[in-house]
Structure formats: C-alpha cells, structure tokens
Structure 1
Amino acid sequence: MTDGSRTFTTTETSFAVVHAIENADGATFSELKSQLQLSKSTLYYHLTTLEKLGYVVKERGVYQLGLRFLSHAQHAKNKEPAFDVVRSKARDLADRIPEEISFATEENGRLVVVYHNIGGSAMTDFKIGQYLHMHVTASGKMLLAEKPEERVDEIIDRWGLPKFTENTITDRDALKAELELVRERGYAINDEEQREGLRSVGAKITKPNGYVLGGLAVDGATYRMTDEQIEEQTVEQLFDTIAEIEAELD
C-alpha cells in the first residue's frame, strides 16, 4: 500500500514501459531496453504482463499499445458530460478562425488536454490526454488564477516552474503578479512562454453552480496573434464561444 508519498516501483515501471511505447509510436524490445535502461528479465516481465492483460500487443517484433486502453479512455471522456458541449462549440470556433483551439482542465496540479483542433495552423503538438505545466499555458494560468494562493503554492512546490523558453515565468512572485493581472482582465495570455513563436489567449468556462470546468484557448503564431488582434478580435471571439457553451451547461 502507499502512504501518500510512496508508490509501487513495479507499477511505475509498467507505466514507464507504456509511455515509452506510446512516445516512440511502437518500439522493439531492444529499443525499449536501451531507452528505459532495464534489465532484460525486468523488461520481459513487464511486457509479458501487459501483453497478457491486453494493454500491449506485439506485431512483427514491435510492441504497440493495445486496444484495451480504449475502454478506459472512453470512461474518462464520458465522466463529464459537459465536455461534449465544449467540443461541439470549440469545433465551431475552429471552423471560423485560422487558429488552433484547445480545451483543457486541471488535474492534480497539471493541465490535461481534453480537446484540440489545429484549425488552419499547426503551431502546437498537443495530444488529447497530454499533461502540461500550468504556468506556461494560457488556460493553465487562467485556472491557476482561480485558485487560492495556498493551492497555487502547493502546485508550484510539487511541479516547479521549469523553463521552456526565454519568456517562461520561473519566479514564484512574478507568476503571482501575472495571475493578479489575469484576474483583473478576465483572460490569460501565453506570450511565447511554452514555445517560441506561439501566443495563446485563454479564458475559463464556468458551470452554473460556479464550478470552473476548464480553460478554452486560442493558439496561434506570433505574427498573427498581435496585441491588436488579441484585443480587437480574439478575446471577443473567445468570450462569445464561452458564452454559448455556458448557456448550454446544466
């Protein structure tokens, strides 16, 4: 059993194998052994167990993730019916503007991507289910701004403020000052803080009971997402879509 800080090493290893296979889009035994630096017997044990349970399949010497994961993904996807409303309206927005649209929510102090549509560009490499640090994304900063300072400190203590670009906010006090600005204007901006050449604008989606469902963001190239574009068009488009979403939420 765990005591809140300890975990099962075998469980962590099995998930490390799963993640390695996913990130490589399939890998041979030798490739996994080299990447994970596990002994042959340890890697064989985990692969055999995962294969027996249907989470991994072996095709022509290459290990791939099994379809068993689909049932878990479907269960997670359907746990919040409101996500379907968000996806529908986000697709409509993506059809109207030449930018990427993403929707993400917070889970255990990180941002998890629930929906992503590349629209007319492909500036990000977001994947559904991908976890991101909150301090480098527009939606993440928006959601952090909704939390009490004690919770923000807990998230920083756990995940840190790693640097991704020269614009990344890596100082705790500077981030808190940024979050205060987010609260004042009602939306957040990612100004090349996660990836050079990418700017994003994000705002929260709130259910009728006051629960913050997540953040909807518009992501695009810096030469298109100028301050003028953001202030005169993007923010309005974003808020209009969020209003449509919130009008349909129970």
Structure 2
Amino acid sequence: MQVVAERSVNEDADQRKQRYEEINRSKNKEECGKGVQSVDRALSIIEILSLSSNPLKLNEISTAADLNLSTCHHLIKTLVLRGYVINAGRNQGYSLSPRIENLWLRSTRDFNLVEFARPSLQKLNEDTRESVLLAVLRGSSLITQLCIASPLRSEADAYGTVNPRAAHALAMGKAILAWLPEGELARVVADNGLPGFTAQTITSLPALAEELRLVRRSGFALEDGEFRDELVGLSAPIRDASGAIVGSIGITIGRRRASETYRQHIVQAVTRCAGNLSARMPAGCFT
C-alpha cells in the first residue's frame, strides 16, 4: 500500500507539472501573438533589403522572408506607396529608398536643435518665470520639441504640448506659418483644415492670410484666446544663418495676468531670445 500511495503522489506531481508546462506554452504563444504580424513581416522585408547592395527580386525577398509571393507582393506594394521601398523597374527588383535614413537624420536633427536651444530657453524660463516652448513644423503638423514648465503654478502648464492641427490658432504655429511660401501654407491648411477651438479662432483663409501679414510686419505672433479662451500666447520665429525658418519659441500666460504692459514685457523677452538664438544658429543644420 505504501508503494501504491507513493506512486499516486508522484503521478499527481507529474500531472501538475505537465499542466504548468501546458499553461506556460499557451502563455508564451499568446505573448508572441501580441505583435502585429503584417508589421513584423514588413519590417523583415526592410531588414532584408537593407542587407543587399543590389535590388532584390520579389521571389528572392519572399524566400528570404519565408513568405508566399502574394503576401510579399502586397507588403512591398504598400512599402513602395509609402516611399520606403523603390521599384527599380521591370524585372529589376526592389531596394530601400533614402526615406528611413532621412527619418533618422530628422530625429538626430531635432535632438540637436533641442540641445542647441535648451540653454537659451532655460534662461528665458528663469527670467520670465513662465512656461516656455519650442515648436517646429514637420510636414503639416506643429510639433513640440521642448517644454519647460513655469517654476510657479501656471495655467499653461496643464496643456503642455501644442495641438499638431492647431497651427492657425496658436502663436507658436502662426510664427512659423507667416513665413511659409504660399504653396506650403496652402498644403498645411488643406491637410489640417481650420478647425475652430473657440469663438476667437480664425477659421477662414482670407482672415488667416491677414493675420499672418500682421505677424510678418510685427516680428512676433499673438494668440488671444484662439485655442483656449483663458490663455494668451506670444511667440517669435527662430531662423538659421541662411534666413530659413527653423521653428518658433513662445510663452503662454493666463488671460487674467495678460495686461497690455505684461504682454509687451513677454514679447520683448521672447523676441530677444529668438534673435539671440537665430544669430548663433548655423545654416542648414536644423532644416
């Protein structure tokens, strides 16, 4: 009886171990399955193309990626449409485009811009004790590259980064849009529209064109309750040595504190900081 009991206990232990192993195998399969298969396959194709110095034909790519021809063709067609892969011509195969390298260079450039501008923006933040932001236009989107919060409690801190589709409603955006060629401005408006965020938001192209004319004449941009009723923004463009617009810096303050005298004080501080940055900025490094 003792032997039988021990055998029974051992069998129970083995069964429990087996159940744990089965659960772990299922768990591992689920974790592996959490990735998006089409994305994984597309990245595999990009990696395969990156290892070849010559264009690869569809059958070569499908074999290397362990994909059937139809699936491989659909993925490559999408990568071609998005500009990441180039069709080298009939029966010539496919190769990577410079777009991935350009994305890397843009990321490096943006990082370098932040590091270049950071000391000046920190000084502006310390001098004004207000939230300070650095923004750039990437494609049609207004992107925040740096945000230094006010050392005091500020209404603007709650919003942090800017809205990428609100360039027409934000001082940071208008300071850049004012200097765009007409065709580029039309593209940004076509991509984003002119959505109204408050009753004060500019929502027509003629009104925006007139606003941007005033920005060019004044040398700074004003946002007066156009994105948030309770906020006033003041911004100035930054340029490199060639005169190209690199981005904008700005300060946003609460309307209750935005007296005419204080607005003038902030405008002077922002435009002085932008001017100092522009005077030291090499041509072509951040554009």
Q: Give TM-score scaled by structure 2 length.
A: 0.59
Q: State the distance in 1 between where 2:31 and 2:187 align.
A: 36
Which residue number corresponds to residue 125 of structure 1? 159
Q: State the distance in 2 between where 1:175 and 1:112 align.
A: 20
Question: Any gaps of 5 or more consecutive residues in structure 2?
Answer: 1-29, 41-102, 283-287
**Which amino acid in structure 1 is aligned with residue 136 of structure 2?**
T
1:82–1:249 CA contact under 8 A, matched in 2: no
Q: State the distance in 2 between where 1:96 and 1:167 align.
A: 30
Please tell me whether residue 161 in structure 1 is matched to residue 147 in structure 2.
no
Q: How do 1:1-250 residues align onto structure 2 when only pairs under 5 Å count?
A: 48-49=34-35, 77-80=107-110, 81-119=112-150, 120=152, 121-123=154-156, 124-127=158-161, 131-231=164-264, 233-250=265-282
Q: SS where residue 215 of structure 1 aligns? A: strand
**Which amino acid in structure 2 is aligned with residue 172 of structure 1?**
L
Q: State the distance in 2 between where 1:122 and 1:112 align.
A: 20
1:45, distance to aligned residue in structure 2 (A): 10
CA RMSD of aligned residues (A): 2.8
2:136–2:247 CA contact under 8 A, matched in 1: yes
2:128–2:266 CA contact under 8 A, matched in 1: no
Which residue number corresponds to residue 70 of structure 2? none
1:102–1:216 CA contact under 8 A, matched in 2: yes
Q: State the distance in 2 between where 1:74 and 1:139 align.
A: 25
Q: State the distance in 1 between where 2:106 and 2:193 align.
A: 27
Q: State the distance in 1 between where 2:32 and 2:192 align.
A: 28
Q: State the distance in 1 between where 2:179 and 2:105 align.
A: 27
**Which amino acid in structure 2 is aligned with residue 171 of structure 1?**
S
Deviations 1:71-109 (A, max 9, x none): xx9976532423312122111111121321111000111
Deviations 1:199-223 (A, max 9, x none): 0001100000222110000111012
2:240–2:281 CA contact under 8 A, matched in 1: yes
Q: State the distance in 1 between where 2:176 and 2:245 align.
A: 8
Q: Percent identity?
A: 23
1:243, distance to aligned residue in structure 2 (A): 2.5
Q: State the distance in 1 between where 2:32 and 2:139 align.
A: 27
Specify whether residues 47 and 236 from structure 1 end up closer, same or farther in structure 2 by C-alpha distance, changes over 3 A only. farther
Question: Any gaps of 5 or more consecutive residues in structure 1?
Answer: 1-43, 54-72
Which is richer in helix?
Answer: 2
**Greater than 4 Å deviation, 4+ residue runs:** 44-47, 50-53, 73-77
Bigger Rg over Cα: 2
Specify whether residues 46 and 223 from structure 1 end up closer, same or farther in structure 2 by C-alpha distance, changes over 3 A only. farther
Specify whether residues 223 and 237 from structure 1 end up closer, same or farther in structure 2 by C-alpha distance, changes over 3 A only. same
**Which amino acid in structure 2 is aligned with residue 86 of structure 1?**
A
**Which amino acid in structure 1 is aligned with residue 273 of structure 2?**
T
Q: State the distance in 2 between where 1:138 and 1:155 align.
A: 16
Deviations 1:161-192 (A, max 9, x none): 01111111111111111111111101100111
